[in-house]
Amino acid sequence: MLPSRDEIVQAYRKYCELVADADDTIDLSHERFFYPTTLLPLGIYVQRNAKKVVKPTNPDVSNYVSLITGHRREGFLYSDSYMPIVCVPKAPYAFDPIFSAIIGICDQGRKFGGVKAFEYYLAELSQNIYDHSEFQNAYIMVQRYEKKGFVEIVLIDDGISIPGSYERHGVTAADDNEHLKNAMNGASTKLEGSRGCGLGTSIKLLTKMDGQFFLVSRRGALYADAREQTFFKLAAQEIYNGTLITIRVPYPARELSNEAFYHAIEG
Amino acid sequence: MQSKVKVVSVVKECALRHNAERLFETIRALPSKDVLVDFSDVKSVSRSFAQEYLEQKKGLTVTETGMNEDVQAMFNLVKKPRTGERFDFSEWKEERLPC
C-alpha cells in the first residue's frame, strides 16, 4: 500500500517552504530526512541561486545534500544498489550508458513493474527532457524504500517547462494546467502526428501498476493514481520553473501482462 | 546489391530517439541504397526510437529482419493511428496544494 497523495505533495511543499524561508543561507542542520521530491529541486535551487547551505548533522543526509548541491558533474553522482542520483548529460548520446546503468542497478526493472514497463516510462520521460525542456540542469534519482514498500523515482529539469514549451511553439491556453492537459492527451509541440504520447501513456501505465504520478511544471501541477486525479492551483511560492516528475510504484511492483501493457501505451 | 546493418553493432541502446538518427546516419553512408536492418539481439525499443526510426526510413529502401515479439509490437503500435482513450478531465478535481 503506497502512502497517501498528500505525502508526495508534502515532500514538494517542504522544498517550497525551505526556499521561501531562504536568505543567503539555507539552514538544513535540523533536517533528518529528504525524499527525492524535496532534495532534487532544492539542489537545483541552490545551484541556480548560489546559496550557501548549512548541511544536516546526520552524515547520510548531509552526504546526499552535498552530492546534489555541489559542482555539476555529468553521469553518476553516487550510486549503489539503493540510490543512484544521476546528473543528466546535455548530449543525448552521453545518456545511453547512464540509461543502461539505471536499468541494471534496478535489476532490469523486474520489481518495478516489469522490464517493459520500467524501460517504457523511464525512456519516455527522459526523452521528454531532451525534446522539450532546454535544460541547464537535470537529474534522475531512484530511491527504494523497501520497508515502506515503494520506490520513488524523480526526474527533474530546470528548463522552460511544459507550458513554456507549448508557448514557444505558439500554443496558447487559459492557464498552465490546460497546457498539461494538452500534453497528457498527446498534443505534440513537434510536427509529427505520432509524437507526443510519452507523458499521457506513462501516466496511464503507472496508474495501471497501482503507482502514483505527481508533476509540477511552472504553475501547472497534477497528481494521478488509479482512484484519484487532481490538478493543483499553485500559489506564487509553489511555482517550479522547470519540470518535476515524481513517480511512486509499489516495491516490488507486479509485472503487467502484455495485454495490459500494450493497452496502457496505445496513445 | 543489398547491404546489411546489425542494429546492435551501431547503437547499444534503443531507448532514446537520437539512436535511431545515429542508425540512419550509418545506413545513409552505405554504398547500397537497398538495406536490410537486422534487429537480432535487440531486446526492446522505446516508443520514441520506433517513431524516429519510421520517420528516418521514409523515402529509403530499408527492410527489417530479426525483430523479436516486443520490438515488433512496439513498431506495430506506433504505426497504428492513435486509438487509445483520451483523458476525460471532467472527473478530475481542481484544488489548491494541500497544506
**Inter-chain CB proximity B97 and A192 less than 8 Å:** no
Mutate to test the interface with B, among A88, A127, A222, A225 (most CBs of B within 10 A): A127
Lowest mean pLDDT among A112-116, B22-26, B36-40, B89-93: A112-116
Please report whether residue B22 resides in a domain: yes
Q: What is the pLDDT of residue A76?
A: 65
pLDDT tens readout for residues B52-71: 999 999 999 999 999 999 99
Of A48, A81, A83, A82, residue with least CA distance to A67: A83
Q: What is the pLDDT of residue A86?
A: 87
Give the residue numbers spanning the domain of B69: 3-80
- For residue B73, the SS3 value is helix
Contact by Cβ (8 Å): A99, A118: no
Q: Which of B10, B11, B16, B49 to mutate to test the interface with A (most CBs of A within 10 A)?
A: B16
Chain-chain contact of A116 with B70 (C-beta, under 8 angstroms) = yes
Residue B34 lies in a domain: yes
In a domain, B95, yes or no: no
**Does residue B82 surpass a pLDDT of 80?**
no
Q: How many domains does chain B have?
A: 1
Is B91 a domain residue? no
Contact A225, A246 (CB under 8 A): no
Instruction: State which residue of chain B sits closest to A224, comparing Cα positions.
Output: B92
Chain A's closest residue to B99, CA to CA, is: A10
ipTM of this complex prediction, to 2 decimal places:
0.91
All structural domains of chain A:
5-264 (3.30.565.10)
Cα(A52)–Cα(A184) distance, integer angstroms: 38
Judge whether A220 and A175 are in contact, CB under 8 Å.
yes
pLDDT score, position A191: 47
User: Nearest to residue A19, comparing CAs of A196, A241, A257?
Assistant: A241
Give the residue from A119, A130, A132 with the most B CB atoms within 10 Å of its CB, the best one to mutate.
Answer: A119
Contact A255, A110 (CB under 8 A): yes
CB contact under 8 A, A96 and B77: no
- Angstrom distance (rounded) from CA A205 to CA A109: 14
Q: Residue A96 and residue B87: Cβ atoms within 8 Å?
A: no
Side chain identity, residue A61 = V
Best to test chain B binding among A4, A8, A16, A96 (most B CBs inside 10 Å):
A96
- Within 8 A of B87 by CB-CB distance, chain A residues are 181, 184-185, 200
Of A130, A198, A200, the CB nearest to B87: A200
Nearest chain B Cα to A184, which residue?
B87
Amino acid at A148: K
**pLDDT tens for each residue of B5-26:** 999 999 988 999 999 999 999 9
How confident is the model at residue A81, as a pLDDT? Answer: 45
Does residue B31 lie within any of the structural domains? yes
- Chain B residues whose C-beta sits inside 8 Å of any chain A C-beta: 11-13, 15-19, 22, 43-44, 46-49, 51, 54-55, 70, 73, 77-78, 80, 82-87, 89, 91-99
The H or E element spanning position B4 is strand B3-6
d(C-alpha A207, C-alpha B35), whole Å: 41
CB neighbours of B49 closer than 8 A, spacing ≥ 6? A123, B14, B15, B16, B17, B19, B20
In which element (H, E) is residue B77 found?
A: helix B69-79
Question: Does some domain include residue B93?
Answer: no
Residues of B in contact with A97 (CB under 8 A): 12
- In a domain, residue B94? The reply is no
Cross-chain residue pair A181–B89, CB shorter than 8 Å: yes
Q: Which residues of A touch B22 (CB under 8 A)?
A: 93
Q: Which residues of chain A have pLDDT under 50?
A: 81, 191
A181: amino acid identity, one letter = K
Q: Is residue B98 part of a domain?
A: no
With an 8 Å Cβ cutoff, are A229 and B93 in contact?
A: yes
